[in-house]
Amino acid sequence: MLATLRTFTLVTVAAVSAVSVTTPAFAAGDTQSRTISYADLDLKSDAGVARLNQRVRVALGEVCGDAGTRDLAARAHALACRRTAMETVRPNVELAVANARSDTQLALSTAAIRVDAR
């Protein structure tokens, strides 16, 4: 039981601390990143979770670009970037919510999720 709890704690800290999302369309070194803090949110409430999801959507738009552009190649890239990033970020958001709503609170190194895109 203790080994399982330690493993879960390590996985939680690693997963929630940072998320790295990359797409190959930009030149090397042209990385955009945003850190999404949720330290001020009550993830036990639906309103807190909704606010975190909104922050994720805003950060994805910032790092992936404008999906509303008329440039079809840029639009396709932005949509693919957002889709990939959301698939990567979603489990970490769910883990943060599950941790907040569990009876056993785990000590996390940070209450933030980092989103990177190239």
Q: How confident is the model at residue 54 (pLDDT cuts 50, 70, 90)?
A: very high
Q: How confident is the model at residue 108 (pLDDT cuts 50, 70, 90)?
A: low
Residue 10 is predicted with a pLDDT of 37
How many folded domains does the chain comprise? Answer: 1
Comparison of pLDDT for 103 and 107, the residue scoring more: 103
Minimal CA–CA distance to 88: which of 61, 62, 51, 113? 113
- H or E segment at 59? helix 46-64
- The CA distance from 102 to 95, in Å, is 10
Model-wide pTM > 0.85: no
Q: How confident is the model at residue 71 (pLDDT cuts 50, 70, 90)?
A: confident
What residue numbers bound the domain in which 37 lies? 2-117
